[in-house]
Amino acid sequence: MMLALAGCAGRPVAAGVPAAVPAGVAPREVTEADVPYNLTDVLFCREMILHDRQALTLAGLVEGRSEDAFVGGLADRIKAGEASRVAALAERLRTWDFSVPDAANPPMHDMPGMLTDAQLVLLRGKRGADFDKLWLTTLARHTGYGMLLAEKARDDGKDRTTKDIAGRLAVAQRAEVNEMATRLARLRGGG
């Protein structure tokens, strides 16, 4: 099977393109087996960068809107972990000669779990328990999609480093979703 990854890379590997070979060696076509990553790896890195950046935006909304220790602690964990993961995933993309999504001008996307501008405005207008419930509900949905994205990369990716990142992330995000569900149940029950 030939690999064609047009549109995302600086130097795409395309079917029928001779591989760079030393002088005196007959050129051959590059096959999927020659490439150390696959499309799942690339999409995971690009989408998770966008996903993590929005999680950082969500974490930044907590200060001044919530007095809940769990919500504040979760926001602090997000701030501590997401930026380093964005850097690691961006490095994977650069290693493969793919562009990193621009933080200042992110590409248009329609990923499940991502918040619209209107949803972010709604969150910004809430305070106290109303903010906490909406923030946790929103973040749980957002994190749940990230977990699914990570599970897909862990299961279907090719690059070992990316699969390792995705595997650890899938476990951590499943635990976070469960924590958020427990806290939401307490907030809704008044506890």
Are the C-beta atoms of 144 and 177 separated by less than 8 Å?
yes
Helix (DSSP H) and strand (DSSP E) numbers for the chain:
5, 0
Sequence-distant (6+) residues with CB within 8 A of 157 are 37, 38, 40, 41, 44, 163, 166
Give residue 114's pLDDT. Answer: 86
| Strand partners of residue 9 | 98
Helix axes 117-124, 128-156, angle to 10 degrees: 140
Give residue 103's pLDDT. Answer: 82
Query: pLDDT tens per residue, the chain (191 residues)?
Result: 334 443 344 444 444 444 455 566 566 777 777 888 999 999 999 999 999 999 999 999 999 999 999 999 999 999 998 889 999 999 999 999 999 998 877 766 677 788 888 999 999 999 999 999 999 999 999 999 999 999 999 999 999 999 999 999 999 999 999 999 999 999 988 65
| Strand partners of residue 29 | 18
Q: Which two tokens stand for residue 78?
A: 């997000």
Sequence-distant (6+) residues with CB within 8 A of 148 are none
Give residue 190's pLDDT. Answer: 60
List the domains of the chain with CATH numbers.
Answer: 1-35 (no CATH), 36-189 (1.20.1260.10)
Task: Please state the pTM of the whole predicted model.
Answer: 0.80
DSSP 142-171: HHHHHHHHHHHHHHH---HHHHHHHHHHHH
Sequence-distant (6+) residues with CB within 8 A of 181 are 140
Give residue 49's pLDDT. Answer: 95
Beta carbons within 10 angstroms of residue 14's beta carbon: 14
Instruction: Give the pLDDT confidence of 77-121 residue by residue, as tens digits.
Output: 999 988 899 999 999 999 999 999 988 777 666 777 888 889 999
